[in-house]
Amino acid sequence: MLTLFIISGVGVILLGVLDWGGFIVPLWVRVAIGLPLGLVGNALAIWAIASLGIGPTSGDEVSLIYRGPYRFSRNPQYVGFILALVGWALMTNSALVHIASLAGIFPLLLVPFAEEPWLMERHGSVYTEYMRTVPRFLALKK
């Protein structure tokens, strides 16, 4: 999933650069909402990757990680990627980037539903308890 996201992310970035400013998003929204969302999303994704490690991020099997952003979300990388895509779409003010970002967000919302049965099979009751105490995407309080 990480490799696919990197490839599509680079494509969305290039698309935004090439189609900058052709949509209807006001400048204040681009700066006041898009920029912070992009920065927070990227920071969250990087923090999650650093907490989990590159190997497990790429699919290597390890024990469950409860530290860092994984205390607040079972899928903080996906949350970060989603925020970054929304932020970039707003910042670029490009209809094409809005469409591409929506196309990228959809699988990020669905992938956890495919991963969770595998994780329950691998980690059993430990993962079931983790699911009970940590939300799939985000909790603002713990």
Domain for residue 92, yes or no? yes
Instruction: Give the closest residue to 138 by CA, choosing from 86, 83, 74.
Output: 74
What pLDDT, on a 0 to 100 scale, did the predictor assign at position 44? 96
Domain for residue 139, yes or no? no
The string of pLDDT tens digits covering residues 94-134 is 999 999 999 989 999 999 999 999 889 988 999 999 999 99
- The total number of structural domains that make up the chain: 1
Domain for residue 9, yes or no? yes
What pLDDT, on a 0 to 100 scale, did the predictor assign at position 56? 65
Instruction: Give the closest residue to 122 by CA, choosing from 76, 77, 78, 60.
Output: 60
Task: For the chain, list residues with pLDDT below 50.
Answer: none
Q: Provide the CA 44 distance to its chain's centre, in angstroms.
A: 8
